[in-house]
Amino acid sequence: MDLETVERYVRATGASHSEIQSEMAEYADEHGFPIIGPDAGAVLRMLARLTDAERVFEFGSGYGYSASWFLDGGADEVVLTEIDEDELDMARTFLDRAGDADRAHFEHGDALETVDAYEGPFDVVLIDHDKPRYDQGFDKAREKVPEGGVIVADNMTRGPIDLDALTAYFADDEPLPEDASDGTEGIANYVEHVRADPAFESFVLPVGSGLCLSTRVAER
């Protein structure tokens, strides 16, 4: 069975968009805007439910697509961060129309700076901003995540990365190519970084563009 067949099966049996999420997805298709998609979105929704999330923090929110899944999962509060003010305004409009804007905080600016203004705790953190700075996002968030909380990072298997190079790096101990993109190096550094942290258990889930889930556990 090939990967395309598996993906079709997952999509056919997976989550459906709400009316507002359908509009968001249509906008992404029309404008070539990268979103996590409904399968990864369903994972975010489940994480919100499983952690009984009171607060969620997003490093990079675009126009609110991923936040809509957290909110659909019952999160009491989601902090959206976005450096593009127009996208943040779109997020506010979409989530307001969905009836969820009262549970969202819209922060314009660099997420790595914004997170310092929040003490936490955050039950779930999404890292989906600049790939070379993923590990910085993790370090900024890790002490704000309680035991049982989850940090999830997007674009582990798709996006501005070379999956073949990453597979060779981790599975065969081959060095990354000298011309590896910043995104590829950023993902490699991130996965190494979180796997080496004794306070977290981490694994890559091949859903959507690939998610790395890191759950905070008691340090061993």
Cα–Cα–Cα angle for 146, 122, 196, rounded to 5 degrees:
55
For the segment 152-178, the average pLDDT, to the nearest whole number, is 95
Q: Which residue in the block uniquely carries the two structure tokens 């009984």?
A: 52
In this structure, the chain runs to a length of 220
Q: What is the pLDDT of residue 218?
A: 75
Q: What is the pLDDT of residue 220?
A: 54
Q: What is the pLDDT of residue 1?
A: 58
Say yes or no to pLDDT of 3 above 80: no
C-alpha span between 205 and 207 (Å, rounded): 6
Distant-in-sequence, close-in-space partners of 74: CB < 8 Å, separation ≥ 6:
48, 49, 52, 53
Distant-in-sequence, close-in-space partners of 137: CB < 8 Å, separation ≥ 6:
59, 111, 112, 115, 125, 127, 129, 153
Say yes or no to pLDDT of 5 above 90: no
Looking at the DSSP assignment, which residues form a beta bridge with residue 107? 81
pLDDT band for position 4 (cuts 50, 70, 90): confident
Tokens standing for 31?
């404008």
Cα–Cα–Cα angle for 82, 188, 211, rounded to 5 degrees:
55
pTM attached to this predicted model: 0.95
For the chain, the C-alpha Rg in angstroms (whole number) is 17
Dump pLDDT digits (tens) for 122-135. 999 999 999 999 99
C-alpha span between 159 and 198 (Å, rounded): 28
Dump pLDDT digits (tens) for 42-82. 999 999 999 999 999 999 999 999 999 999 999 999 999 99
Residue 43 to residues 8, 40, 86: CA-CA distances in angstroms?
A: 17, 5, 27
Q: Is the dihedral of CA 92, 155, 43, 115 positive or negative?
A: negative
Say yes or no to pLDDT of 6 above 90: no
Distant-in-sequence, close-in-space partners of 219: CB < 8 Å, separation ≥ 6:
198, 199
For the segment 164-169, the average pLDDT, to the nearest whole number, is 96
For the segment 84-92, the average pLDDT, to the nearest whole number, is 97
Say yes or no to pLDDT of 2 above 90: no
Written in H, E and C, the secondary structure of 39-77 is: HHHHHHHHHHHHCCCCEEEEECCCCCHHHHHHHHCCCCE
